[in-house]
A = this chain, B = another copy of it.
Amino acid sequence: METSQPAAAHVLDTAIALAPDNAGGPGRYLGHTSPAYGNMVGPFGGTIAATLQNAILLHPDKLGDPLSLTVHYAAPIADGQFEVQARPLRTNRTTQHWMVELSQEGQVAAFATAVTAIRRDTWGATDASFPLAPPPSSVAQAPAHPRAAWTGRYEMRFIAGGMGPDQSDASGHPSETRLWIRDQPPRPLDFPALASICDAFFPRIFLRRASWTPASTVSLTTYFHVDAAQLAAQGDAPLLAVARGQHYGKGFFDQNAEIWSAGGVMLAASHQVVYFKE
C-alpha cells in the first residue's frame, strides 16, 4: 500500500507546537522555544503570543473562534522548554473567556487572557482607512535583520517606514511603518499566524528616534475581526500591515497596528505598551 508523504510541518507550526501534558490535566501542555524565531534577546514575542493562542485552540472545551488576545510578557523567557496551562474562566452561550499561563522553572514568564466567540453574520462596516499601498510585487523584499532570526521567517516588503532606524527616512510619518507581510515560506493564514504578525513590528521608538535603544513589549492586545473561514479564504496571500506610535514618556510608549487583507478587509487591530530604557 502506498501512502502519500505528509508535508513537512511549517517552521511556525513547529515553533508553536504544544504536547499535551496528560499528567497535568486538560489544558496543560509542554512547549519549547524555537531558534528559528529567535529575537535579539530570547524568543520573538509574536511566536509566544501564537503559542498561547494555540493552547486555547487545542483545548477540548474551546467555544468558537478567537476574538481577543491580551499577552503579558511578564519576565524574560529563557530559550528552552516551558509549560503552558490554559483555563476557561467563564463560558457563556456564544463567548468564552480564557486565562493561559506560560511558566519556566515554576514561575510565570508570560500569560494571556483571551476571548473566543461564535461569530454570526451581522451588519458590518469599516471606519478605519484602508492604507495606500502599491501591489506587493512592486515592492522589494527586505533582507532579514542579522541579529533577529525571526525577521527571516517573514517576507516583508516595506512601503513606508523601514524595519528599523533609518536616518535617511524623511517620509513625514516618523513612527509609521507600512508593509506587505506573510510567513516565509508562505503558509495558509490562521489565528496563531495572525496573532504573531500583529507583533511583527520593531518598537516604534527605533524609527521615531532613528536609533536603537533597549525596548521590549510589556503587554499586547489584539482583536480579531474575522472568523476561521474568512482567514482560511485569505490563503497565503501577503497582508497589508501598518503600525504607528502614539505617546512616549516616563519609560514606556504605546503603538497600535492594523492588519488588512489585500482586498481591504481589516483582519485584526492591535495595541501594545512597550518599555524603553531612556
Chain A residues within 8 Å of B, Cβ to Cβ: 67-68, 70, 72, 74-75, 89-90, 92, 94-95, 97, 99, 101, 107-109, 111, 113, 115, 117, 119-128, 174-175, 204, 208-209, 218-219, 221, 223, 225-227, 244-252, 254, 256, 258, 266, 269, 271, 273, 275-278
Contact = CB atoms under 8 A, between A and B. Distances in A.
A278 B72 contact: no
27 contacts: A68-B218, A68-B219, A70-B70, A74-B89, A74-B97, A75-B90, A94-B251, A97-B108, A99-B99, A115-B219, A117-B252, A122-B249, A122-B250, A122-B278, A123-B249, A125-B247, A126-B249, A127-B204, A127-B245, A127-B246, A219-B221, A223-B254, A225-B250, A225-B254, A226-B250, A246-B258, A246-B266
Contacts of A266: 246-247
Interface class of chain A by DSSP: strand
A275 B95 contact: yes
Contact of A209 (B123, B252, B269): B123
Nearest to A65: B250
A208 B266 CA distance: 17
Contacts of A67: 218, 252, 273
Contacts of A227: 250
A250 B119 contact: yes
Given A67-B218, A67-B252, A70-B221, A126 B75 contact: no
A130 to B, nearest CB: 11
> How many protomers of this protein does the assembly include?
2
Contacts of A247: 124-128, 225, 266, 269
Contacts of A128: 246-247
Contacts of A248: 122-127
Contact of A221 (B89, B111, B252, B271): B271
Contact of A127 (B72, B120, B208, B221): B208
Nearest to A111: B89
A123 B219 contact: no
B70 A250 contact: no
A104 to B, nearest CB: 11
Nearest to A94: B251
Contacts of A92: 74-75
